[in-house]
Amino acid sequence: MPPSSIKRINTILYCRNWNETVRFYRDVLKLIVNVETEWLVEFQLIENTFLSIANTAFTTIQSAKGSGITLSIQVENVDIAYRRLRGIGINPGPIKSIWGARAFYIFDPEGHRIELWS
């Protein structure tokens, strides 16, 4: 499949801690809700790129409990993102230099690792 044929990307995280995880992405990370149902919330990240949080109580796929998943998000300024999260009570790991960038990590309520970098 050539990349030019891809029109939309959506990553779906299956969560046991659904309400807390939805609140984390909506209220803490301030992602924009694109679609909301009783068991799934889809957030728009950038044009044609989405992240969905699905409630495992209503799905046939169960939670990976955060195991083996990292959401890597490039931000404009990692220092500003770090200070903002600390200011609202999130305790991110230290900012490190990796792969020619500066990055830090946080975890959502389901245990998924989130890398913020610039």
pLDDT tens by residue, the chain, 118 residues: 677 788 999 999 999 999 999 999 999 999 999 999 999 999 999 999 999 999 999 999 999 998 999 999 999 999 999 999 999 999 999 999 998 999 999 999 999 999 999 9
Predicted model pTM: 0.90
Per the CATH hierarchy, to which homologous superfamily does domain 3-117 belong? Answer: 2,3-Dihydroxybiphenyl 1,2-Dioxygenase, domain 1 (3.10.180.10)
Q: What integer pLDDT is reported at residue 94 of this predicted model?
A: 97
Strand order in the sheet with 96-98: 70-74, 113-117, 101-107, 96-98
